[in-house]
């Protein structure tokens, strides 16, 4: 009789341990997922654009509406800008001073950006397209 009670106690004890183990695993899994979420939202995709008389490289950028990205505009020669009025974007850069800006497109569509700092004869034709997907 006493042996039976001990056995029951041991069984209950091992079940409690199993439950505790499962709960611990779930907690770790949830913590992992939220850590990933925090990491994903705190490190936006970095997009580097190099401006050079009279082009941008790349000259087509694909973004997602509502997704924040870090735009980095560099220049290989003189001062340049990048302005897209419809998206409220205006960056300016000079040769040794890249411009960095967190940017979240709020509208979907194709938007043509233009250099906003006079940089020479073909300045008016210095264009870039932002393709913002829904």
Residues that bind Cu ion (CB under 5 A): 115, 119, 123
Residue 84 or 115: which CB sits closer to Cu ion?
115
Length of the chain: 134
Q: Is the peptide bond before 115 cis (omega within 30 degrees of 0)?
A: no
Q: How far is the CB of 78 from Cu ion (least distance, A)?
A: 8
Q: How far is the CB of 129 from Cu ion (least distance, A)?
A: 16
Q: How far is the CB of 45 from Cu ion (least distance, A)?
A: 26
Q: How far is the CB of 105 from Cu ion (least distance, A)?
A: 22
Residue 87 or 116: which CB sits closer to Cu ion?
116
Residue 109 or 120: which CB sits closer to Cu ion?
120
Residue 57 or 67: which CB sits closer to Cu ion?
57
CA distances from 70 to 36, 66, 98 (A): 19, 13, 12
3-state secondary structure of 87: helix
Strands of the chain (E only): list them: 45-52, 55-57, 60-64, 69-75, 80-84, 89-93, 99-103, 109-114, 127-133
């Amino acid at each position: 009789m006493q042996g039976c009670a001990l056995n029951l106690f041991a069984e209950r004890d091992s079940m409690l341990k199993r439950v505790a183990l499962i709960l611990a695993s779930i907690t770790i899994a949830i913590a992992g997922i939220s850590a990933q979420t925090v990491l994903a939202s705190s490190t936006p995709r970095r997009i580097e654009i190099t401006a050079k008389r009279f082009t941008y490289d790349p000259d087509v950028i694909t973004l997602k509406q509502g997704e924040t990205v870090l735009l980095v505009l560099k220049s290989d020669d003189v001062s340049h800008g990048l302005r897209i009025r419809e998206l409220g974007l205006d960056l300016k850069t000079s040769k040794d001073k890249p411009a960095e800006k967190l940017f979240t497109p709020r509208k979907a569509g194709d938007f043509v950006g233009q250099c906003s700092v006079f940089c020479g004869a073909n300045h008016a034709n210095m264009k870039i397209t932002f393709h913002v997907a829904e």
